[in-house]
Each structure stands twice: as C-alpha cells, then as structure tokens.
Amino acid sequence: MGYKTFEFVALKRLILTILLIGFSMYCFFIKKTLLFFMIGAVSFLLVCYLVYSTYKIIISTNKNLTLFLESIQHQDFSVNFKTNNNLDNSFSDLNASFNSVLNAFRKERSEKLEHSQFLNTIVNHVNTGVIAYRPDGKIDLMNKSSKVLLGEYHLKNINELKNKLLLARILELPSGQSAVIIVSSTVQLAVYTTTLKLVDKVLKLVVIQNIYKELLNKQVESWQKLASVLKHEIMNSLTPITSINSTLGDIIKEDFYWNASSGRFEISKESLDDLNDGFSTIRMRTKGLIKFINAYRDYTSLPKPNFVKIELVTLLNRVKGLMKAQFLDGHIAYSFVLPDKGNSKIMGDINLLEMVLINLIKNAIQAVNKTENPSIGVALICEENASIRITDNGSGIEPEAIEKIFIPFYTTKEDGSGLGLSLSREIIQLHNGTLTVTSVPHSKTIFTIQFYRN
C-alpha cells in the first residue's frame, strides 16, 4: 500500500512539473508581458523546487531502499525507518511498509530461534544419544546423552573419537542401516545412521542408545515367556490325556468282571478295544509332548518338523478321539465332516499338526462355554489344496482384537499366555500353509487352515 501511495505521489509531481514548465514557456515566449513574465518566473521557481525536492526524495528513497535490502541480506532486522518524514507524506506509508516487512522477518526469526531452542532442549534431555556431523567429520550437534554414552565431553570432530573400533563401525555403517556394537560388558550400543540433506550442507545423523538393560530385561522376560510356553503346551496335551485316563478308569471299574467258571477277571472285546485305543492315543500324545519339550529345552522356538506323508483324515480322527471326552463333559454338540473321497495326503509333522488342532478346538470349547446350545464343527475339504475349518457358535472375536490375536503374547483371556495362536500359525507356515480367522461377535467364529500342496 505504501509503494502504491509513493508511486501516485511521484506521478503527480511529474505531471505537475511538466505543466509548470509548459506554463512558464507560455508566459515567457507567448504572452511576453511583465505580468506574465513575473507569473512565469514564479512558475519556474516552483519547477526548480519540485525538481530539487523530487531529487531529494529519489536520493532518500534509494538510500532507504538500499538500507532495507542490506538489512534483509545481512539479516539485521533491527533497522527502523521513520514514519514522520518531512520530505513528503508518502514517505510515511513507504517507510511503514518497510517496517512492516522487517517486523515480519523479525517475528519469523524469533519463532525460528524459539523453535530451535525448544528442539535443542528436547534433544539434550532425551536418553538417546544424537550426533550430527559433516562429511569432513566436523560435529554440528552432540547432545548430553551421546557425550555420556561415548565418554567424550569435548568432541569437535567425529574422527577424534577415542574408541577407534566404535568409530570405524559408525563410519562404515550405511545410511538407513542399524547395528549393535558391543563396547564393554555393560555397554551395548544400538546405532542407527541416516543422511540429512540441508540447503547448504549435508549432515550424517547418528542415533545411539545403550540397550544393555533392555537386553537384560528381555532375557529375563524371555525365560518367563519360555516357561509360559511350556505350561501352555503341556496343559493342552495333558488335559485330553487326563480325560482319556478318567474314561479308561471308568471302563476298568465298570467292564471288568470276575468269571467264576474260568477263575479270572474278564472284559468284553469292545471294552478291550476301547482300552487299547485310549492307551495308544495317550502313548502317541505323550511322545509328541516329549518331543516338543525337548526342543524347547534346547532353546529353540519350535521343534523342527519331521515331514512325512500323513493322512489328514487319520489326523482328525486322532484329534476327535482326544477331544471327545471334553465335548461330552461340556455338553457340546460336535461334528467331524471327513470326506470319503479326495486326496487328504500332505507332507507334515503329525505331532505338531495335532498340537495345532487341539489348541484351536480347545479355544472353541472355551468360546462356547456360555452359549446356550454350544456346537463345534470340524470339516476337512480336499480339493486342489486341502483345508480344515473349525467353526463354533461362541462369543466370537471383536473386530479390534481380530487383527491382534496372532501377535505373540496377546491374549483376551485372564489365564491365557497369548502363545497358542501365534505358535499355531508359525507351525502351519512351516507346513507351507496359512491359518486365518473370520468372526461375527456373539454369532460364530471360523478358523481355516489351508495347506498348499505345491
């Protein structure tokens, strides 16, 4: 606005000067009388005044403009232009515009300085070490935590770092990569580097953190989780064994009888077959459990699968026998739909797959615990790829939890370890398969195991 006012005044002066010069010429050379000569002389004097004042205005304007541009160039925003100029009122508006621009710069610089101080305060109070240095090694930023971690309190150049092994690892670490560097028995540094390209320079940013305590806590936590894993899987295996053992005890009590003619205890062939099936199931499940425990005892996350050709129909019949007692105890309607035809053979570890199915069915039993007419269905589908679907009409899984249930140690149960489903998915993935779930809260849940033959 100030510039437009100054422009208008300058144009007005120019037009007035031209008119006065023309009027003076008219008085001097056209009229040629004393009166007009005197009027012409006055007009000429006015022209001289206008030319002189305009010259002063131009000089003063150039001076102010130069000062304004130099103050911006050198970021010296302390300059202040007078708004009560004696040369012309238009200068007040122009100088006010200059002051307005400089005030905006002052405000922006103040905000940047405040923001910079705020960031410096944060950087110096975080527990993570931060170092920013140039390609020649000159350090632009080194917060307090990095000085403590490195034991370097007056470091000016990264190449002056006393620990040459640490220096070499930092310098050779590519941008965007991270590494763990063991400095001592109690100092294990997690180092991350990245490159920052600023307007006039390139900086390499190094983030350092001592993760010794975290690793120590993680080690303790891992032991606790390992114990939880063992408890989870042992209980999953012992529960059906206990049920079968109780059933076998009932058979022995009720079906054994004394035959006076032969002078010995006898049992019917049907009951004997039931006993043999029960003991066979306990023996197979015990072998699988021992194999699993031995693998964990050797600090492995999962036992390495022993792949052999297995029949899924046979596997599901075994699981049906294991879980039958629990279905009956819970008054749960259950069904196993197994095809008479189709290829149900896959390469797999029967003990690990049995463990997965027991875990999924046990989860289904817990889900229908408070359902009025509980039902669980297991179906085997043999097409190009084989799949097993386990369906229950229990409480279902809430949408916000369905994405998390396969995360290790995530659980919605008070007594759950959060390991069953994550281990089950890992086992299925080892068998070139997938474990997925769909659920409608308070209606039904379907877990699907898909085996890919190729």
Backbone angles phi, psi at 379, to 5 degrees: -130, 135
pLDDT in tens, 97-120: 777 888 888 888 788 777 777 777
**Separation CA 218–CA 231 (nearest Å):** 19
**pLDDT computed for residue 315 by the predictor:** 93
Backbone angles phi, psi at 195, to 5 degrees: -110, 130
Residue of higher predicted confidence among 393 and 289: 393
**Separation CA 29–CA 39 (nearest Å):** 12
**pLDDT computed for residue 21 by the predictor:** 80
Contact (CB, 8 A) for 256 and 208? no
Question: What pLDDT band is residue 416 in, cutting at 50, 70 and 90?
Answer: low
pLDDT in tens, 239-289: 777 787 788 777 777 777 777 677 777 777 787 787 788 888 888 878 777
Question: What pLDDT band is residue 312 in, cutting at 50, 70 and 90?
Answer: very high
pLDDT in tens, 282-303: 888 787 777 666 655 544 456 6
Which sequence spans correspond to the domains of the chain? Answer: 2-113, 127-210, 220-451
pLDDT in tens, 149-200: 888 888 999 999 988 888 888 888 888 888 888 777 677 888 889 988 887 7
Chain position carrying tokens 């229908």: 368
Q: Which fold has domain 127-210?
A: Beta-Lactamase (3.30.450)
**pLDDT computed for residue 298 by the predictor:** 45
pLDDT, averaged across the chain: 80
Residue 1 pLDDT > 70, yes or no? Answer: no
Residue 139 pLDDT > 60, yes or no? Answer: yes
Residue 230 pLDDT > 70, yes or no? Answer: no
- Lowest-confidence region among 17-31, 55-69, 208-222, 376-390: 208-222
**Separation CA 72–CA 62 (nearest Å):** 15
pLDDT in tens, 22-62: 877 777 777 767 777 787 777 778 878 777 777 777 787 77
Q: How many angstroms from the chain centroid is the CA of residue 443?
A: 33
Element (H, E) at 88: none
- Give the 3-state secondary structure of the chain: CHHHHHHHHHHHHHHHHHHHHHHHHHHHHHHCCHHHHHHHHHHHHHHHHHHHHHHHHHHHHHHHHHHHHHHHHCCCCCCCCCCCCCCCHHHHHHHHHHHHHHHHHHHHHHHHHHHHHHHHHHHHHCCCEEEEECCCCEEEEECHHHHHHHCCCCCCEHHHCCCHHHHHHHHHCCCCCEEEEEEECCEEEEEEEEEEECCCCEEEEEEEEECHHHHHHHHHHHHHHHHHHHHHHHHHHHHHHHHHHHHHHHHHHHHCEEECCCCEEECCHHHHHHHHHHHHHHHHHHHHHHHHHHHHHCCCCCCCCCCEEEEHHHHHHHHHHHHHHHHHHCCCEEEEECCCCCCCEEEECHHHHHHHHHHHHHHHHHHCCCCCCCEEEEEEEECCCEEEEEEECCCCCCHHHHCCCCCCCCCCCCCCCCCHHHHHHHHHHHCCEEEEEEEECCCEEEEEEEECCC
The CATH number corresponding to 220-451 among 3.90.1010.10, 3.30.565.10, 3.30.460.10, 3.40.710.10 equals: 3.30.565.10
Question: What pLDDT band is residue 125 in, cutting at 50, 70 and 90?
Answer: confident
